[in-house]
Structures are given as C-alpha cells and as structure tokens.
Amino acid sequence: MGFRKGVFSFFVALLVVAVLSVASFAKPIVIKFSHVVAVDTPKGAAANYFAKIVKERTNGRVIVKVYPNAMLYGDRAAVEALQMGAIQMACPATAKFTGWLPELQLFDLPFLFKDYKHLHAVMDGPVGKKILNLFRRKGMLGLAYWDNGFKVLSNNKHPIVLPKDCKGLKFRIMSSKVLEAQFKALGASPQVLPFSEVYSALEQGVVDGCENPWSNLYTKKFYEVAPYTTETYHGYLGYVLITNAQFWDGLPKDLQKILAGCVKDATAYERKMAQKLTKKQRALVIKNPKVKFVELTPAQREIWRKKLVKIYPDFYKAIGKKLIDEAIAEGKGL
C-alpha cells in the first residue's frame, strides 16, 4: 500500500507540474486599447491604470496594450475596428455613437446636468444602464462611462460673454446633431472636424473656435491659437468604455469577473483624476499671459441656459422625452 501510495503521489506531483508548466507558457490574452487623447488626460491616465491593475490581478494572464493619441485609430475608425475584432477596447466620446445610438445624444444636451453629482447619478443609475445595454445592438458591450469634464468655449476673434457674441463664428464640433443645433441656436456655424485637426484648423482659420473641457484645452494647447476663453460649462464631454461583445463573452468567467472589477476601479480612478486635473489645468490655462479669460456670473450663465434648453424638444423623438425627463429628475433633491 505504501508503495502504491507513493507512486500515486508521484504521478499527482507530475500532473501538477505539467499543468503549471502549460499555464506558465500559455500566451496571455492581449487587449488592444485604442484612444485619441494624450496620456496626461484623465482618460489617458485611467487607461494606463486599467492596464496596470489588469496585469496585476490576472497574474499576467491578460495584458492590456494602450495606444494613445490616435496612434492606431481615430475615434470613429476605432469603433469599426473594435466591431471587427482588430482591437478589443476603446473609449470614444459619447458623441461618436449618436448616429446609430441616438439615445446617447442625451449626454450632448446643453445644461442638462447641474453638476458632477447629478451627472454620475444619471450615469450609474437606471438611465445610464439602459443606454449601456443598447450597445449590444451593434455587437459591442458598454462597460462604463468615463469623465472628461464640462466644456468651455475658446475662440480667436473676440471675448464671448453672452450668447449673441457667438453670432457668425465658426466652431469645430464632433459629429452630433445636438451640438450642431446648439451652435445654430447661438447664431454660429458648426463645422465637423476630427479632434486631431483642431489645432491646425484654428491656426489656419478653418474654424474660429471650439468647445472643450479644460484637460483637452490644456494638453492640446488650443489656447495658443484660440486665446479668448469663456467658462460657460454649457455642456459635458465624456466617454463610453466599450469592448467587443463576442470577445468579452468568450473570456473565461473568472477573467470576466476580474476585468469587471478592474473596470469599476479604473472608472472611480478616472473620475477622480478628471476633477483633479480639471482644477489644475484650469489654473494653468488661466494664468497663461496669452489667454483672455471670461468667468460668467450666475445671471449670465442663466441667460445661456435659457437660450440653449430651447433645442430640447427637437430631440424628444430621437432621444426619447421620457429618457430626458428621467435624467432631469435624477438631479432633483441633490
């Protein structure tokens, strides 16, 4: 019996060694994560943080390779590449999806969110989850919402204080019917351009101005070619972290659970980073001698709000009036 027991233990040990050896030589699952912004933006920093914790928590079974600054694709091309499986993760601006997921135009509506608390209540509540589930229509999985921040206006013609000051100016926008309607309501001319072309377009006079959160304004140095900067906070710019649904569904259940936890923690990290960098980069832009800064009074912001919320009814059908009303209701009592 002792001999048999010894032989059995020996073979069990061999089997364990063999399994461990196979595991150690198995190729890791690689997630290519493409985005268009700089590494020192909230999204750029969070993408790198996500890659770090994924490697740690999966013991190297999953490796996230991050490609910033549109090294692989612009936002629109990244969505197509993700659908085809050329990349496994992307985090485009919400406006990039509005052509075929019109409900996402909710996040482009001007003056919809009172503050970050209201915004995150919508994102993390029934409204946000309902919208994330819609990505399955297109073979994708919506994982989370990442912040950039509330937007300011920059231009190279003159100071902007009231809505009428935008009349006749050409503003760069992302491809979004809401953003187009927003600038038309201000008497301005909206021009759709890729993010990578904004600086040169401002420099060459193709457009006169743009709207951006402070992080984009600072990291891309738009203030150099559009020094008149007005803190309107008229709208929000954020992102949706997405993956290929077939890729995600094909992962082992234990890895899905680990990655979902990493997404949750990276999202919390990203949102804190967004607010931290916004405060820091706002101060850096304002103190730059080239910048002509306008800070609106509450009364002036109310004039902007009343002017721009008039476009809401134009999108009741596309977005859904009920969805808009639910998002507004989330802010009551906060």
Per residue in 253-262, pLDDT tens?
999 999 999 9
d(CA 271, CA 132) in angstroms, rounded, equals: 18
For 19-30, what is the mean pLDDT? 63
Percent of the chain with pLDDT over 90: 81
Coil/strand/helix, residue 200: helix
Rounded (5°) CA angle 279-280-284: 120
Taking a C-beta distance cutoff of 8 angstroms, is the pair 192, 179 a contact?
A: no
Q: What is the pLDDT of residues 298-308, one digit of tens each?
A: 999 999 999 99
Q: What are the pLDDT digits (tens) for 137-150?
A: 999 999 999 999 99
Mean pLDDT of 11-37: 65
Q: Cβ contacts of residue 292 below 8 Å, gap of 6+?
A: 159, 227, 228, 229
Q: Show the DSSP H helices in the chain as ranges.
A: 2-25, 42-57, 75-84, 116-124, 126-133, 177-185, 198-204, 214-219, 245-249, 253-286, 298-308, 321-329
Given a cut of 70, is residue 12 above it in pLDDT? Answer: no
Least confident of 158-167, 213-222, 247-256, 257-266: 213-222
Which is more confidently placed, 42 or 19?
A: 42
Confidence of residue 331 (pLDDT cuts 50, 70, 90): confident
What pLDDT sits at residue 11? Answer: 44
CA 291, CA 28: separation in Å to the nearest integer?
48
Cα Rg of the chain (Å, integer)? 23
- Local confidence band at 25 (pLDDT 50, 70, 90 cut-offs): low
Positive/negative CA dihedral, 91, 93, 99, 100: positive
pLDDT per position as a tens digit, 28-60: 999 999 998 888 888 999 999 999 999 999 999
Quick check: 19 pLDDT over 70?
no
Rounded average pLDDT over 199-220: 95
Residue 2 has a pLDDT of: 53
- Using one digit for the tens of pLDDT, what is the confidence trace for 312-325? 999 999 999 999 99
Q: Which of 180, 183, 151, 179 is nearest to 166 (CA)?
A: 183
Position 97, amino acid: F
Question: What pTM, to 2 d.p., does this model score?
Answer: 0.84
Fold of 27-329: D-Maltodextrin-Binding Protein; domain 2 (3.40.190)
How sure is the predictor about 98, in pLDDT bands with cuts at 50, 70 and 90? confident
Q: What is the distance between the alpha carbons of residues 32 and 210, in angstroms, rounded to a whole number?
A: 30
**Residue position matching structure tokens 């730059």:** 288
112 contacts 203 by C-beta, under 8 angstroms: no
Would the pLDDT of 120 be above 50?
yes
Burial readout 95-114 (b: 16 or more C-beta within 10 A, e: otherwise) = bbbbeebbbbbbbbbbbbbe
| Secondary structure of residue 248 in the 3-state scheme | helix
pLDDT tens digits for range 282-294: 999 999 999 999 9
What is the rounded distance in angstroms from the CA atom of residue 81 to the CA atom of residue 91?
12
- Alpha carbons 298 and 232: distance in angstroms, whole number: 10
**What is the domain partition of the chain in residue ranges?**
27-329
